[in-house]
């Protein structure tokens, strides 16, 4: 393999954790997927690493930031363009990662700086344990969560000051389908924690990845992704919103009809995301696309229903058309803002696609019932 930085042939050396490819010229190192974490963990435990980052390295890093865009580095493993990222967001150590094979290029000196950073705050190395069961760095944990349905609807609507608590409508039948879907999502999440030893590989297999789907691969992931979640808050937020709006929408459908409607909303959200993110390699997971469709149907079926809402420290009753209309407006505004900036982890347009589809189905169903007398 060839060094991405100086084009020198890499030399393979055996470390205590794996075979590492190193450039003897610029001292850069190539780590295949999963190797970097184990290597840095071992290095962090070394007494030779001082927690304090040398000022000279910081100055060099600032100079490096000014030239990030001047030279693109190519993955020595699969010839894809490497993407530069700030390790753990605030370390100021910028590494290069291949979005295709997940390998990582580390320039000379950067490995020790990562180890120093982790030694300054050891909690960084354990934040993800219990969820991903491996120390994959905060960047990898974020990529795990940076998925289509990665952010639940509750998190998108100013959760610290505005929170829906319920509605005034009483369901006419027991919402067994809604409860079944909630139960299934919870069981799947528990299974993820207990049985999945390689969460990233699992998400790559069962999350909906745009580039795979456009190649005609893994169509099953369009469905499996709807029942996966990246964290407990992600799961609880989605299920909470689904519980508020799902039971009354279920009233309008037969059991089979509601299941079909829910899955169709999820597919509509997926297709909207795929259409606007054709080059994305990030696995899409979560139920929020389908739940957005349920919210769109509620908007049409029950526009005058009042949503009990916690607003700062007061309880307000807000008409559904205003509450959900404002929520939808937020999706559109931030969808365009963040799409142009290309910096958001949230699939705003997936929520928009689900909401619009659900609203249209409800509109035509409502119209058909009215015409039929």
Paired tokens of 344: 């958001």
106, 29 in Cβ contact below 8 A?
Answer: yes
Classify the C-alpha dihedral 325-342-160-250 as positive or negative: positive
- What's the chain's average pLDDT? 77
Walk me through the domains of the chain, giving residue ranges and CATH numbers.
Answer: 11-125 (no CATH), 146-371 (1.20.1540.10)
pLDDT at residue number 297: 96
pLDDT tier for residue 135 given thresholds of 50, 70 and 90: very low
pLDDT at residue number 199: 85
293, 370 in Cβ contact below 8 A?
Answer: no
If one compares 118 and 181, the residue with the highest pLDDT of the two is 181
Alpha-carbon span 35 to 32, nearest angstrom: 6
Q: Indicate if the pLDDT at residue 50 is higher than 60.
A: no
pLDDT at residue number 107: 83
pTM, entire model: 0.59
241, 152 in Cβ contact below 8 A?
Answer: yes
- Minimum mean pLDDT among 119-128, 177-186, 212-221: which range? 119-128
Percent of the chain, pLDDT > 70?
71
Q: What is the pLDDT of residues 267-276, one digit of tens each?
A: 999 999 889 8
> Mean pLDDT: which of 72-86, 160-174, 268-282, 296-310 is highest?
296-310
Q: What is the pLDDT of residues 238-269, one digit of tens each?
A: 999 999 999 999 999 999 999 999 999 999 99
Q: Which residues lie closer than 8 Å to 218 by C-beta, 6 or more apart? A: 205, 208, 209, 212
Sequential DSSP letters for 124-170:
GGTTTTTTTSS--HHHHHHHHH-STT-S-GGGGS-TTTEEEEEES--
pLDDT tier for residue 369 given thresholds of 50, 70 and 90: low
């Amino acid at each position: 393999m060839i060094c991405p930085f100086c084009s020198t042939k890499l030399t393979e050396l055996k470390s205590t954790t794996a075979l590492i490819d190193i450039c003897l010229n610029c001292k850069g190192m190539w780590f295949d997927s999963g190797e970097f974490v184990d290597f840095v963990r071992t290095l962090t435990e070394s007494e030779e690493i001082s927690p304090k980052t040398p000022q000279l390295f910081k100055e060099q890093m600032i100079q490096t930031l000014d030239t990030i865009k001047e030279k693109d580095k190519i993955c020595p493993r699969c010839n894809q363009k490497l993407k530069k990222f700030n390790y753990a967001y605030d370390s100021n150590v910028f590494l290069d990662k291949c979005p295709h094979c997940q390998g990582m290029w580390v320039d000379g000196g950067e490995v020790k700086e990562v180890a120093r950073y982790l030694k300054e705050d050891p909690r960084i190395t354990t934040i993800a344990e219990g969820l991903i069961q491996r120390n994959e760095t905060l960047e990898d944990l974020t990529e795990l969560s940076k998925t289509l349905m990665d952010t639940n609807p509750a998190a998108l609507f100013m959760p610290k000051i505005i929170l829906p608590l319920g509605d005034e409508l009483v369901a006419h039948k027991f919402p067994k389908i809604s409860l079944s879907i909630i139960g299934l999502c919870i069981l799947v999440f528990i299974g993820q924690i207990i049985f999945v030893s390689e969460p990233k590989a699992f998400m790559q297999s069962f999350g909906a990845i745009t580039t795979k789907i456009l190649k005609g691969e893994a169509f099953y992931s369009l469905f499996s992704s709807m029942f996966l979640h990246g964290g407990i808050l992600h799961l609880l937020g989605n299920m909470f919103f689904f519980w508020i709006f799902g039971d009354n929408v279920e009233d309008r459908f037969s059991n089979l009809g509601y299941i079909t409607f829910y899955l169709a909303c999820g597919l509509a959200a997926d297709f909207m995301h795929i259409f606007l993110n054709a080059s994305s390699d990030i696995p899409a997971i979560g139920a929020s696309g389908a739940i957005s469709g349920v919210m769109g149907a509620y908007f049409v079926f029950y526009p005058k229903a009042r949503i009990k809402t916690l607003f700062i420290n007061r309880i307000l009753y807000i008409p559904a058309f205003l509450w959900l209309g404002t929520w939808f407006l937020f999706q559109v505004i931030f969808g365009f803002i963040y799409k142009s900036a290309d910096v958001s982890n949230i699939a705003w347009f997936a929520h928009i696609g689900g909401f619009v589809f659900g609203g249209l189905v409800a509109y035509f169903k409502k119209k058909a019932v009215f015409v039929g007398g």
